Copies of this chain bind each other. A is one copy, B any other.
């Protein structure tokens, strides 16, 4: 049964396991530093579909199917499925997952969606409400560019603070297998808005939310950054990552030795022309499923805070002069369970 430590912060006493995970990505992600770790790399940006939106749905379908296969479970063994994406009305999820026939909660958390979905899956299984849950999210460079920015044919030039939307999906199956990686804690994000209005600098807009969620989790668990091997945000990129370290530093919380960012891990910024790094729901989701869980499973990392970050604006809100609210949902991953009262 999950224990509420402070507002929105839960200790997962049973430590549910990630029983299976999969990351399906595009060609550019396959050429990056994590290329060899993904379950599948698609050279064709259409994945054999006739539109990029349908291709993005396919990414979700394949990610869930692969995660299920790796977990050894069938769709009918999944009690609840949590999913969302960045496309208008979250069509990546609705169309990608409609065939599965799993009870479905649609989410909107922008690029924080994997943190939100994994957190909810963890809380539902840890509290005993259901035995097994799944979470999935995706993004696609081409569908995101034409929805949020310009048609690709336009060839717009990006400022250095801009980030590159990852083509990829990540899916996890959460359940009671009793094997690592384990889920030990969840911190639900609160919307933070410090007034950033630059749509080409979303890392800066999201950093305050990441700082708030990390600080709240450390306080509630009475831990320090040094208690973790890594504290990995979603897609703050180069600009937002610096800002995060700075913001937490002002509160005497030094995460500089532990902090990394999925947006910085997925691409080689020197060689891949991605400016400030990767972004999109698929960024943190695919880095989690291909890289972070591997490091924990292998025992190279023991305690990791995974903190996907989302910018909750739209093209309309930005055109109307609104600032960009951010949110960050945290999940505490580990190679070990909490010390259990009854040892199994």
Residue numbers of A with Cβ under 8 A of B are: 1-2, 4, 7-8, 10, 50-51, 53-54, 76, 79-80, 84, 86-91, 93-95, 97-98, 101-110, 116, 120, 123-124, 127-130, 147, 188-193, 312-317, 320, 322, 325, 327
Contacts and interface: CB of A to CB of B under 8 A. Distances in A.
Contacts of A87: 314, 316
Nearest to A109: B106
A313 B105 contact: no
A191 B98 contact: yes
B94 A105 contact: no
Contact of A190 (B2, B102, B107, B127): B102
B128 A1 contact: yes
Nearest to A147: B316
Nearest to A322: B95
Contacts of A1: 128
Given A7-B79, A88-B314, A107-B105, A94 B191 contact: yes
- How many copies of this protein are present in the complex? 2
18 contacts: A1-B128, A50-B320, A53-B316, A88-B315, A88-B316, A89-B317, A91-B312, A94-B191, A94-B312, A95-B317, A95-B322, A98-B192, A103-B188, A103-B189, A104-B188, A104-B190, A106-B110, A108-B108
Nearest to A103: B8
Contacts of A147: 316
A315 B147 CA distance: 12
A89 B104 CA distance: 19
A53 B191 contact: no
Given A54-B320, A317-B95, A189 B104 contact: yes
Contacts of A95: 312, 317, 322, 325
A288 B79 CA distance: 27
A95 B93 CA distance: 24
A51 B316 CA distance: 10
Contacts of A98: 191-193, 312, 325
Contact of A129 (B7, B106, B127, B315): B127
A53 B317 contact: yes
A228 B178 CA distance: 42
Contact of A106 (B53, B94, B97, B107): B107
Nearest to A8: B103
A7 to B, nearest CB: 6
Contacts of A313: 89, 91, 94
A14 to B, nearest CB: 13
A108 B84 contact: yes
A312 B191 contact: no
Contacts of A105: 107, 109, 116, 120, 188
